[in-house]
Structure 1
Amino acid sequence: MGRLYLCATPLGNLADITLRALQVLKQVDLVVAEDTRHTRKLLDHYGITVKTTSYHQHNEREKASSLLAELDKGREIALVSDAGTPGVSDPGYILVQQALEAGHEVTVLPGPSAVIAALVISGFKPYPFYFFGFLSRKKGERQQQLKDQEDNPWTGVYYEAPHRLQETLQDFCDIWGAERRVAVARELTKHFEEVFRGSFASALEHFSAIPPKGEITLVVEGKTGTTEVPLSADGELVREAVNALIRAGADLHQACRAVGKALDLSKSQVYRLYHR
């Protein structure tokens, strides 16, 4: 049987590679890379001449069969991403699943991870936390994803592309509230590393004035405060107010938020009263 190594690589600073990762990259038969040109810079820096092949989101399903064939021959393969730990938010898990099902050995080489690096530098409570990855590029789907997560009390970690950051921060403001706190980690471990900490509103203002570049990780504060419904709350009044706004054209989310603001209740409290 063959062996598949899941090899973490630096986020940006090449000195962050581990000694074990260098040892494995030198000894394997093949390095499977998200972008071979990007990975070749790392390998050349350390004088590693191993053969490479591409494995990315556009070819991962068809490429997996040929990689499994190499493992069947008893070969050793190292899977790497452009940066960080492979299989977290880039191709990898399909190959891992199929390799395990075929009886091959799968080994992880721990190392850099943008998720953990951003989480611990954010200043927010690091546990419990959830990792979402990239929100949808489509506005409607992205907003629904945020609505689904709005009341989560855990610290959340998201990835975002620089050209979509302002639009995403605006959605956070509109759906989660402008005062919820966020840490925007940009270019971690690189020369122009930046971590902006503040409210969604202040982050939007900052990055609207200075358009961001580079890799971005958002660490967002979980929902705080009570979600219990006050005993004095009038459920019938709340339902009538929400239904009136819906008839006027608002969706349920907008109606609950507006009624909550008028009655000094949270959106989640209004939602619970509405569905009683």
Structure 2
Amino acid sequence: MKSIKHILVPVDFGEVSANAYEYALQLAGELSASVHLLHCLPAAPVIPGNGHVVLDTVPQLHQRAKEQIADFAVAGKANARWQVSQMPEVTTSISAFGLKEGITQYVMDHEVGLIVMGTHGVQDAWDRFFGTNATFLVGKVKPPILVLPLNARYQALKTICFATGLRESDLVGAGSLRKALSVFDPQINYLHVHLPDDPQTSDGLDLFRRAFEQPRDGVEATFITTFNEDVTDGIFNYLNKHPHDLLVMIKLERGWWDRMFAHSDTRESAGVTNLPLLILGQ
């Protein structure tokens, strides 16, 4: 995770994205970063042999969206003005390529350090099957994605729960995370959910504990093990008893088949989280 200088917030002008925008304004104010609002129009239909078809209504939709996003940007600043120490620069853009392709293209063309996406959580079986827009984007774009549920309000990121599968990449990710969020001087608590079929012995867990708790850059961390039959349940049972400002997970790289049908703890957590969830690519 690199230094965060530009934060992208995809918006649909609804309550969820308004909350994500105001959160991003406060976070950007602390990080001295800029905020970029992106609204994606529905993708134009594709006709074989003709590519994307430009409908006569697209110019009108684009103009209306420009007016809406300008009003949205102003309203968000007004709502957050008392919470932001230094109001960041805000820019706006409209994409005509649909949400996922529009975000992917924007990230390719700009130096985005973080994507902040609001979520309504898992509401039906289709959400459980395909995942939220946020989790779908992980692996498609390089920047980390901050998933923000509607009830989440901005707090300085002082305590971070880093869910770990005991991988070396977790240590690397936590190190870069600490540097990116150094303005908060965060306390990082590694959390490992030990499953019934987990091959790690108590001696093995002690070895990992010493590795994860070893001071790095003068900063100490803690390593906690909790026992549960399900990773997601284990994480949120722990967080309900020990509140944190941020949950961090690393999404593993998977093939197409596994992405579609295999269980994903990250995808499941994004659907049920009640606090900000930062998803890092592996």
Greater Rg by CA: 1
User: TM-score, with normalisation over the residues of structure 2?
Assistant: 0.25
Q: Which has the higher strand share?
A: 2
Larger RCO: 1 or 2 (CA < 8 Å, sep 6+): 2
